[in-house]
Structure 1
Amino acid sequence: MKEQDYALYEAFKAKDARFDGRFFVGISSTGVYCRPICWARQAKRSSCTFFSSAAEAEQAGYRPCLLCRPELAPGNSLVDASSVLARKAARLLEENCGSGQSLEALAGKLGCTGRHLRRVFMEEYHVSPVRYAQTCRLLLAKNLLTDTDLSVLDVAMAAGFGSLRRLNDLFQKEYKLSPTALRKKAAEGKTHSGEITVGLGYRPPYRWEEMLDFLAARAIPGIERIKNDAYMRTVHLTDKVGKPHDGWIKVTHRKQKNRLDVTLSDTLIPVLSQVLARVRRLFDLYCDPDVVYETLQEMNRLRPGLCVPGTRLPGCFEPFEMSVRAILGQQITVKAASTLAGRIVENLGHPVDTGVEGLTHTFPTAEDIAALGDEVKERLGVLGVIAARSMCILNLADALIEKKIILDQSADPEQEMIKLRAIKGIGSWTAQYIAMRTMGWPDAFLETDIGVKHALPGYSQKEMLALAKQWRPWRSYAVINLWNA
């Protein structure tokens, strides 16, 4: 056995959650592949083969373990990857696994050729992007068959197979099991209630209460609500043919399982892969907290407890919504910004019937704001938004529609921040904050922020920047720790 395989086997034997999602173990004696935390009877070393991804394990002929469920394993963050491009491509494939997007279209979005993307993807994951996307669809279908009462046909469509026959054929070929047989094993006692629940794993520890506190302080009335230790919000997404789908989601924490449960209305099933990808971003489920803490523990030399393991970087569900909220928050309190955003929602948002108290609208789209044109100052002005910020929001909406600015994790944050700062009314703080939350940029540092200044008393801005160099590339996480402090 190779030295590296020996170390991986020791991690597998220890059921160490820190390695969950970082590799998978193929067991030759059973023909299944497992997460490192699998609680099945320990396999012998000679029976184990190690893979960097679920797709690689399936390509080698292994099928997913029904006990540890590889579809629930957390992913990897961008910065700790050997190839940022490959990781970005993997996330886009996960989010759009049902859209039928071509490799060339994916490569174009990432600013490279299909040939180059295929090469770096193979180097990183040892499988082609097409094979990776197929595994994403299969594992999403397996998750739905196990955890929901959706019909097998609905599962096939939600997971992007396009037909029941295609789902059946691939399940038989890859897993030697029919979807119906898996459903019979998992669906006993389930009743349909107009909603489904899907689990998403993470690497512990996870500071759930602090995440909820952050989101609660910035919640937009009518769109978001935090109640009974759960995050709820309305959702507006379009499917691969441009058809809109409105609904709601609720996210709860299952600490004992190291996972978040995402409950969503039936109306969102056609855009399920998009919903799950956005929840992963919002709650930073790709993070490896041990890697982050290894660098940031130096913060505790300044003051004990300044950095706490498991602190996550809050992302966002809808980039334009979050960016408008950031612009509104310039030079006013967090609460005042939420009040202004709530007025915009009430007057310009789209009503949606959720049946959930407090969830009444979806946020106006960039197209809605752009359609206001010269009227934007008047329409937002009567709501309490000053003219300069109204124009800033309009200019951002126009830039997004024209695709001059990209606000998602396929973007190059440093390039997009330059473009953001070119919009009148967006300075360094706002550009970095938007990049931090919409693009998952882990290395933003807000030295002019009042909360950061309070947490680091006695330091000038220049001194804070010098101090923060040792926290790279995780300065965004350092900012969150400083805010929590």
Structure 2
Amino acid sequence: MNLVPDVCYQALTSRDRRFDGQFVVGVTSTGIYCRPVCRVRCPKFDHCRFFMHPAAAEQAGFRPCLRCRPELAPGLSMMDAGDQLARAAMVMIDNGFLDHDSSAALAGRIGVSERHLRRLFKATFGVTMAALARTRRLLLAKRLLTDTELPVSEIAHAVGFGSQRRLNALFQTHYRLSPGRLRRATRTGHADPSITLSLAYQPPLDWVAMLDFLAARQIDGLEQIESGCWERSLLIDKDYGSERTTHAGWISVEHVGPEQLTLTLPVSLVPVMGDVLKTVRDVFDLEAPMALIESHLEGLGNTGLRVPGAVTGFEMAVRAIVGQQVTTIRARRVLAELVARFGEPLAGHPGRYGFPKPSVMAEQPPEALISLGLLRIRAEAIITLAGAVNHGVLRLCPGAPVAETIARLCDIRGIGDWTAQYIAMRALAWPDAFPAGDLVLKRVLGCDNAREAVQRASRWSPWRAYAAIRLWHQASGPPTSCPAITSQGALTRSGASASSSEESSS
């Protein structure tokens, strides 16, 4: 993404929310950098410098604005950066990869040399990977200092600095004030013992349609959706040297006002706060550049529909496999039994569980899954998938190599192209994924085969995943009757069955 100063300044003067999260502006007369929607008096053009990422602004010596709070802005989407490898690295850094591993390991995971990745990253974002990771931690610490009553020492450990002394030193160096002074300057006077954080996004967002989609796939014991609120369990592993600890808790998300969601989480998840925030943003697709998507999909209607993401890629893949050629109700029942039998019980929440880990599912005999009502081919597919994910052979997350991941998924007996494309949509967050063999999409597009569907959908590239979601939604009827998509692509209402010749042959 190349920043054009005149365009950025026009967005700044008009406070255009479509650009929030796409860049920040450093004001040379104050040494402060702001979001383009900041409500302070607009600076003169000659006093403005524009940066693609807060890390670049901080590297240039600017400090974050205490009023517009850049740490609350929507993030860059997977399609905003100019290079796919740099995008993948950025996503992994945002997910906290450098909190526990090196840039060399990051380059190895992506499949290039460390030197090449460093060069690409600097050319794309204007900063080093280490600088971006440091800014990510600092802004998260700033957010927790402002929005919670957590002790500074806990915040230092939660964001990955290891000690309060290190946090204090970096705050003084980069922000020219101490954490304690920042907290005093931003304190509202209304201490809230619960941990509730705001999540911003670029409008529009059809919250009702999003919850309808998730409610149609709700797994009892794992999640709950009612009264406009999404709740579920989270289990997040974190490495502490040679030890791995699982942090568990029950979170809730609701829409509280224009362009804002709120996330409420327990203290038990504070050590993995960054992971929780990223997970929620992924699930609700809050990084999507909706203005760009809406203009590209003009004529399809259903403004504000996004592609719901995944809590974990493994969970999403299991959901897709279980949903093959069965009704939505049946799939939910099988998944609820799978979670209750193999999931880890959530302390303090009777009857609630975390989704089973790949390491657990990889050790199960096929008969254990067949007893839940699964066909052998699907039981074996889940076990094979779990082993591949557990051993790091298969990564199902944003930033994973799309073509390679789809190919590896299709190599697993029981997984066809539809399932792989659906996983790419929701687990890899790949905006151009398109399950061309889907029966409903072929019917809506007036196509007889998948090849023809690909040709007709090409006009929506690189946002075909968003086109698919809208076409499914349109075919489902009124908004309150959300499309229930199985891995065959058949769209059903609560009791209908589905089948697909493309997938059933896999």
Partner of 2:250: 248
2:409 is the counterpart of 1:420 = yes
- Alpha-carbon distance in structure 1 between the residues aligned to 2:232 and 2:133: 28
For 1:354-369, list aligned pairs within 5 A: 354-355=348-349, 360-369=352-361
SS at 2:50 equivalent: strand
User: Under a length normalisation based on structure 1, what TM-score does the superposition of the two structures give?
Assistant: 0.93
1:310-366 CA-to-partner distances (Å, cap 9, x unmatched) read 2211110111111111100001122221111001111121111354x8x71011111
2:62 equivalent in structure 1? 62
> Does the 8 A contact of 1:98 with 1:161 survive in 2?
no
CA contact (8 A) 1:20 1:73 kept: yes
Q: Report what 1:288 is aligned to.
A: 289
Q: CA deviation at 1:462?
A: 4.0
CA contact 2:322–2:335 (8 Å) conserved in 1: yes
> Normalised by the size of structure 2, how large is the TM-score?
0.89
1:325-474 paired onto structure 2 within 5 Å: 325-355=319-349, 360-372=352-364, 375-377=365-367, 379-453=368-442, 455-456=444-445, 460-474=449-463
The answer to whether the 8 A contact 2:307-2:465 is kept is yes
Q: How far is the alpha carbon of 1:465 from its aligned partner?
A: 2.4
Per-residue CA deviations over 1:13-52 (Å, capped at 9, x if unaligned) read 0000111111111112222100000011221222211111
Distance 2:339 2:415 in 1: 22
Shift of 1:198: 2.1
Unaligned runs of 5+ in 2: 475-506
Q: What is the distance in 2 between the residues matched to 1:393 and 1:27?
A: 53
Instruction: Note if contact 1:381-1:387 (Cα within 8 Å) is conserved in structure 2.
Output: yes
The answer to which structure has the higher helix fraction is: 1
User: Unpaired runs of 5+ in structure 1?
Assistant: 301-305
Query: C-alpha offsets along residues 182-227 of structure 1, whole Å, 9 cap, x if unaligned?
Result: 212334444454x412222211111111111111111111111112
- Deviation for aligned residue 1:6: 2.2
Shift of the 95–346 alpha-carbon distance from structure 1 to 2, 3 Å rule, reads: same
- 1:113-192 equivalence runs, <5 A: 113-191=113-191
The alignment partner of 1:243 has SS state of strand
Q: Which residue of 1 aligns with 2:237?
A: 238
What residue is the counterpart of 1:211 in the other structure? 210
Distance 1:162 1:350 in 2: 29
Given the alignment of the two structures, is residue 9 of structure 1 paired with residue 9 of structure 2, yes or no? yes
Aligned sequence identity (%): 43
Partner of 1:303: none
The AA in structure 2 aligned to 1:238 is: D
Residue of structure 1 equivalent to 2:27: 27
SS of 2:6's equivalent in the other structure is helix
- Does the 8 Å CA contact 1:290/1:309 hold for their aligned counterparts? no
2:329 partner letter: K
Separation (CA, whole Å) in 2 of partners of 1:224 and 1:432? 24
**Residue 24 of structure 2 contacts residue 57 of structure 2 at CA under 8 Å; is this kept in 1?**
yes
Compute the displacement of 1:68 (Å): 0.6
CA 1:293–1:192 in structure 2 vs 1: closer, same or farther (change >3 Å)? closer
How many residues are treated as equivalent by the alignment? 470
Distance 1:123 1:458, change over 3 A: closer
* Match of residue 276 from structure 1: 277
Asked if the contact 2:153–2:164 (Cα under 8 Å) also holds between the matched residues in 1, the reply is yes
What amino acid is the match of 1:201? A
CA distance in 2, matches of 1:477, 1:267: 35
CA distance in 1 between counterparts of 2:445 and 2:51 reads: 44
